[in-house]
Amino acid sequence: MPHGSLRILVTLVLLFTSLSAQATDTAPDTSLTPLKFLVGEWKGADAEGKGHKISFVLSSGGTSLTETLTPPDSPPMTTIYYSDGDQLMLTHYCSLNNQPRMRAAAVKEGEKTITFAFVDATNLKNPTDVHMRQLAIEVKDHDHFVQTWTLSKAGKDVPKVFTFERVK
């Protein structure tokens, strides 16, 4: 084997060995655990009784949870939940054409409500522009949950409540 080929082979072996060691040293990420039960299809309604569909899928190798909310009279919206250390974060891709990011403190075992608070947003020209500023997810049981989105509009908070049931 030529000397140059041997050097490349040794380099590749060392690289793959290093990557393999890094993969096994990584502790499993458990911050998404409180939300993983949401994976699947759900049906529900807002406070006015309008039907909504929502689906959740794990994405990016299980490191994020993608939500697609489909209202009856506007385009679907996507929210991606992900870890930031031991905290949960989300980015909401809103039909208002802004993308608020929110953070929840570490979720303690047995807690039934996870509340995300506004951190910042992209495509938000002024802090007073209409945007979502909070999300509370209340887990009723394995097949029922409530989302309360808080819309900031003209300096006032407007709650938007959605109740969902798992599609079986």
State pLDDT tens for residues 78-113.
Answer: 999 999 988 899 999 999 999 999 999 878 888 899
Whole-angstrom CA distances from 38 to 80, 97, 104, 106 are 13, 25, 17, 18
Place of tokens 């506004």: 118
Cβ atoms of 79 and 64 within 8 Å: the answer is no
CATH: 1.20.120.1730, 1.10.3720.10, 3.90.79.10, 2.40.128.20. Which one for 33-166? 2.40.128.20
Domain ranges of the chain: 33-166
- Tens-place pLDDT, residues 134-152: 999 999 999 999 999 999 9
Place of tokens 């529900």: 44
Residue 105's pLDDT is what?
80
- Determine the Cα–Cα distance for residues 83 and 107; give it in Å rounded to an integer: 12
pTM of the model: 0.81
Q: Is the pLDDT of residue 12 over 50?
A: no
